[in-house]
Protein backbone atom coordinates (compact mmCIF):
# COMPACT_ATOMS: atom_id res chain seq x y z
CA UNK A 1 0.00 0.00 0.00
CA UNK A 2 1.39 3.36 -0.99
CA UNK A 3 1.33 6.13 1.55
CA UNK A 4 0.28 9.44 0.15
CA UNK A 5 2.80 12.10 0.82
CA UNK A 6 1.29 15.04 2.62
CA UNK A 7 2.00 18.29 0.92
CA UNK A 8 2.05 21.18 3.28
CA UNK A 9 1.66 24.55 1.75
CA UNK A 10 3.07 27.55 3.51
CA UNK A 11 2.41 31.02 2.37
CA UNK A 12 4.41 34.09 3.08
CA UNK A 13 3.06 37.54 2.80
CA UNK A 14 4.22 41.07 3.17
CA UNK A 15 1.36 43.38 4.02
CA UNK A 16 2.11 47.07 4.26
CA UNK A 17 -0.22 50.00 4.66
CA UNK A 18 0.50 53.71 4.41
CA UNK A 19 -2.08 55.62 6.42
CA UNK A 20 -2.59 59.37 6.69
CA UNK A 21 -4.94 61.06 9.11
CA UNK A 22 -5.55 64.67 10.08
CA UNK A 23 -6.13 66.54 13.28
CA UNK A 24 -9.66 67.64 14.08
CA UNK A 25 -10.61 70.42 11.64
CA UNK A 26 -7.00 70.22 10.44
CA UNK A 27 -5.98 72.35 13.41
CA UNK A 28 -2.19 72.88 13.30
CA UNK A 29 -1.45 71.22 16.66
CA UNK A 30 1.52 69.01 15.83
CA UNK A 31 4.81 70.87 16.06
CA UNK A 32 7.89 69.29 14.45
CA UNK A 33 9.12 68.55 17.98
CA UNK A 34 6.13 66.19 18.42
CA UNK A 35 7.49 63.81 15.77
CA UNK A 36 9.72 61.76 18.11
CA UNK A 37 7.04 61.61 20.80
CA UNK A 38 4.41 60.49 18.30
CA UNK A 39 6.70 57.87 16.78
CA UNK A 40 7.33 56.39 20.23
CA UNK A 41 3.61 56.15 21.02
CA UNK A 42 2.73 54.69 17.61
CA UNK A 43 5.60 52.19 17.72
CA UNK A 44 4.51 50.93 21.14
CA UNK A 45 0.87 50.53 20.09
CA UNK A 46 1.79 48.86 16.80
CA UNK A 47 3.81 46.28 18.70
CA UNK A 48 0.96 45.67 21.14
CA UNK A 49 -1.41 44.78 18.30
CA UNK A 50 1.11 42.54 16.54
CA UNK A 51 2.23 44.87 13.78
CA UNK A 52 5.44 46.80 13.13
CA UNK A 53 5.76 50.54 12.66
CA UNK A 54 8.25 51.04 9.83
CA UNK A 55 8.04 54.82 9.54
CA UNK A 56 6.05 57.73 10.84
CA UNK A 57 6.10 61.46 10.55
CA UNK A 58 3.88 64.42 10.99
CA UNK A 59 3.15 67.84 9.67
CA UNK A 60 1.33 70.41 11.78
CA UNK A 61 -2.09 69.05 10.86
CA UNK A 62 -1.62 65.44 9.80
CA UNK A 63 0.24 62.20 10.49
CA UNK A 64 1.73 59.59 8.14
CA UNK A 65 2.52 56.02 9.17
CA UNK A 66 3.84 53.00 7.32
CA UNK A 67 2.97 49.74 9.04
CA UNK A 68 3.75 46.11 8.34
CA UNK A 69 0.97 43.90 9.62
CA UNK A 70 0.01 40.22 9.76
CA UNK A 71 -2.83 38.77 7.74
CA UNK A 72 -4.77 38.29 10.98
CA UNK A 73 -5.28 42.05 11.31
CA UNK A 74 -7.39 44.26 9.11
CA UNK A 75 -6.49 47.81 8.14
CA UNK A 76 -9.49 49.32 9.93
CA UNK A 77 -8.37 47.84 13.25
CA UNK A 78 -4.81 49.07 12.76
CA UNK A 79 -5.97 52.61 12.01
CA UNK A 80 -8.45 52.62 14.89
CA UNK A 81 -5.84 51.46 17.40
CA UNK A 82 -3.06 53.77 16.23
CA UNK A 83 -5.25 56.86 15.99
CA UNK A 84 -6.98 56.07 19.27
CA UNK A 85 -3.78 55.42 21.20
CA UNK A 86 -2.00 58.50 19.88
CA UNK A 87 -4.96 60.79 20.47
CA UNK A 88 -5.68 59.41 23.94
CA UNK A 89 -2.05 59.61 25.04
CA UNK A 90 -1.64 63.09 23.55
CA UNK A 91 -4.69 64.37 25.43
CA UNK A 92 -3.20 63.07 28.69
CA UNK A 93 0.47 63.92 28.24
CA UNK A 94 0.45 66.92 25.89
CA UNK A 95 -2.91 68.61 26.38
CA UNK A 96 -1.15 71.95 26.92
CA UNK A 97 -0.58 72.00 23.13
CA UNK A 98 -4.28 71.51 22.39
CA UNK A 99 -6.57 68.49 22.41
CA UNK A 100 -6.46 66.16 19.41
CA UNK A 101 -10.08 65.14 19.84
CA UNK A 102 -12.99 67.43 20.53
CA UNK A 103 -14.36 67.26 23.98
Cα separation, 102 vs 90, whole angstroms = 13
pTM of the model: 0.82
Mean of the pLDDT values across residues 73-97? 90
* 6 inside domain: no
* 23-69 pLDDT, tens digit each: 888 989 888 888 999 999 999 999 999 999 999 999 999 999 999 99
Number of separate domains in the chain: 1
Asked whether residue 5 is assigned to any structural domain, the reply reads no
In a domain? residue 8:
no
CB atoms within 10 A of CB 71: 8
Q: How confident is the model at residue 81 (pLDDT cuts 50, 70, 90)?
A: very high
The domain that contains 54 carries what CATH number? Answer: 3.30.70.1290
101, pLDDT greater than 70: no
Query: Is position 38 within any domain?
Result: yes
Residue range of the domain that includes 49: 15-95
Amino acid sequence: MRHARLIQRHSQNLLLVHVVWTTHRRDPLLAPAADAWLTRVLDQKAGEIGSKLLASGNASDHVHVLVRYPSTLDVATIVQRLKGASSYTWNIERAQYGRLTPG
